Amino acid sequence: METVAAFQSSFTNVSQMPPDWASRSDFTGTGFMRVGFKSPFSNASIQQRPSISVANFGIRKLGFNRKGRAVRASMQSNSDGSAVPIAPLQLESPIGQFLSQILVSHPHLVPAAVEQQLEQLQSDRDAEKENEGSSASGTELVLYRRIAEVKSNERTKTLEEILYALVVQKFMDANVPLVPAITPSPPNHLSSQEERVEHLHSPEAYEMIQNHLALILGNRLGDSNSVAQISKLRVGQVYAASVMYGYFLKRVDQRFQLEQTMKILPQGIEDEGTNIQQVIADETRPGTGSSEKAFGNAQPHPEVSSWAGGIGAGNFTGAKPSRLRTYVMSFDGETLQRYATIRSKEAISIIEKHTEALFGRPEIAITPQGTIDSSKDEQIKISFGGLKRLVLEAVTFGSFLWDVESYVDMRYHFVAN
């Protein structure tokens, strides 16, 4: 809970902040700082790149810089002459750059282009497997294995960027622009996209998203105009945790909707008046901790960890009853941990890189006591409406990531069983 307290204390009021706000306990139910994968703010060497850019999704002419790394629109720019970014993360592989061009010119053609590229990736992988039985030996064998390793890494990077391009395309289809890279100043007043985002989730899932927002913002949920000064690192950690939560939420919601359609929901779930506190107390079992082993250190969303860890019902005070939440509470600990774990290392890498592209790479120093030295932590000014927008985007990003991961895996199997 020390890190949660640090998250609370990192807010500094800029306008209309009540004096008791910093001491309130609404954040304590989330435990966001326990996000367990490396980065989005680790020492991994992820470089910042220019983002894919377009002006209001309209473009007639594309241009590359000399290195071919930035795709930008040549018309309908901002008032300062810069193009409006459609995604903060730059795609770098040849296929990624190809998809970048299609995203800004003909986004509706992205799925067809992806199909073609996945077929090529599958052909390359099949050809490599056929060559594994070659009679090479000695130096030739070492060289062959090194070449195979390089090609495998290239395929992984290409696959990540295909997944990312599909996520961006889904945001574009929904006419919900992704938030551009966050800057220290002036205050980040982000326009609300709540109405559009709501329609991207089922009613049951959106109930849980509202509970998620309430845990983060508390009584500031309805206050869109007040501005706070907060650690960029903390906001980035909350964003990454919310992406993971959205991934989990879409996964369990798909199962819920299927069982509801087939009329095989567990007994009592259909009764909307079910007392959620009783369900939590009766059906929550200790977790197995298996998620901590996934990909070295990937962990589920902290709220999910709390459910699977046998937490008492009292910790959910203030959470509104929800049929989907009650349904999740009916899972045994092993099932809950499995659903709360990111399935592929490619998806984890996307979350890391997207978050770093959005919030920048922080300077992190560890004190002799083993705590994070926050003296170099950058502060940003952002409205509470902007924080709400970021969390809603993050949850939706995670939901879309689950969708595209499943879509791609059916055509090019990469998710471990």
User: Where are the chain's structural domains?
Assistant: 2-45+182-411, 52-87+89-173
Whole-number pLDDT of residue 8: 44
Helix/strand/coil percentages in the chain, nearest 5:
55, 5, 40
Q: What is the pLDDT of residue 10?
A: 54
Instruction: Give the tokens for residue 33.
Output: 């700082």
What is the DSSP secondary structure assignment for residue 58, as one 8-state letter?
A: B
Please tell me whether residue 388 adopts helix, strand or coil conformation.
helix
pLDDT above 80 (res 58): no
* Range with the poorest average pLDDT among 128-132, 211-215, 238-242: 128-132
Residue 412 contacts residue 159 (beta carbons within 8 Å): yes
Residue 6's contacts (CB-CB under 8 Å, 6 or more residues apart) are: 33, 234, 374
**What residue has token string 């790149």?**
49
Query: Which has more confidence, 292 or 95?
Result: 95
Residue 52's pLDDT band (cuts 50, 70, 90): low
pLDDT at 129 (0 to 100): 83
What three-state secondary structure class fits 73?
A: strand
Residue pLDDT, tens place only, 245-268 = 999 999 999 999 999 999 999 887
Structure tokens at 251: 């996964």
Task: Say yes or no to pLDDT of 5 above 50.
Answer: no
pLDDT confidence band for 127 (50 / 70 / 90): confident
What is the average pLDDT across 226-242? 92
Least confident of 66-70, 82-86, 224-228, 361-365: 66-70
The label of the residue with tokens 């107390």 reads 281
Which tokens go with 389? 């927008």
> Cα-atom radius of gyration of the chain, to the nearest Å?
22
355 — pLDDT class (breaks 50, 70, 90): very high
Give the closest residue to 89 by CA, choosing from 394, 334, 320, 357.
357
E strand intervals along 224-264? 227-231
pLDDT of 195 strictly over 80: yes
Q: How far is CA 216 from CA 29, 192, 323, in A?
A: 9, 17, 21
| Token reading at 376 | 């170099």
What is the sign, positive or negative, of the torsion defined by CA atoms of 88, 93, 95, 101? positive
CA 52 to CA 69: how far, in whole Å? 9
Regarding predicted confidence, which is higher, 409 or 61?
409
Using DSSP, state whether 132 is helix, strand or coil: coil
Q: How far apart are CA 165 and CA 361, in angstroms?
A: 22
- DSSP lists the bridge partners of residue 383 as 227
What whole-number distance in Å separates Cα of residue 43 and Cα of residue 223? 36
Question: How many C-beta atoms lie closer than 10 Å to residue 65's C-beta?
Answer: 10
Contact (Cβ atoms closer than 8 angstroms) between residue 232 and residue 5: no
